[in-house]
Amino acid sequence: MILSDRAILAAMTDGRIVVRPFRPDCLGTNSYDVHLGPYLMVYRDGALDARRANPVREFRIPPDGFVLVPGQLYLGVTAEYTETHGYVPFLEGKSSVGRLGIDIHSTAGKGDEGFCNHWTLEMSVKLPVRIYAGMPVGQLIYFEISGPVGKSYSAKRSAKYRRVSPHPIPSRMQLNFAPRPRRR
């Protein structure tokens, strides 16, 4: 079941949902609007390697905006810090953003119960589009969980994205691979 605006506010009142900064005008009928933070990141190498940390270049979006181009993956970040306890958050792009041909996530639209951080956005575009820090990019939708959670995301040692950061966080896929034995 999806939480309504009143249920989201009730969960915020008792601390099960946290959004900072919170703006009442961003609360929709059954979602909360989030905005693009000031930082973007791009991978520096043409071919990425899932077994290693790939080098990145981070930059601040200029006040006059930045043009995203097709064929390039951009890592953005939400301006809002969020926490979700007892619910599963989903991040979906706003329809106005989609109608500009901007995708805000490739595969990671579902958060985990216990996720406490800014959301990294995996952004791509169909056509060149100028974007701006602070523009609305997505909406968080909260689902109820059926049954107790065994271990919250924030309590898992294996959770790769627990370090709180207002900057995009690149892939940490390399942590899923066992170290390779050294050749003698």
Instruction: List active site positions.
Output: 122
Nearest to 54 by CA among 67, 45, 63: 45
How far is the C-alpha of 52 from the C-alpha of 174, rounded, in Å? 5
ω into residue 21 within 30 of 0, thus cis?
yes
**What is the phi-psi region of residue 95: left when phi exceeds 0, alpha when psi lies from -120 to 50, beta otherwise?**
alpha
What tokens appear for 49 in the block? 């390697």
DSSP 8-state code for residue 4: P
Q: Where are the beta strands (DSSP E) in 30-146?
A: 32-35, 39-43, 56-60, 66-68, 74-84, 87-93, 102-103, 116-125, 129-131, 136-144
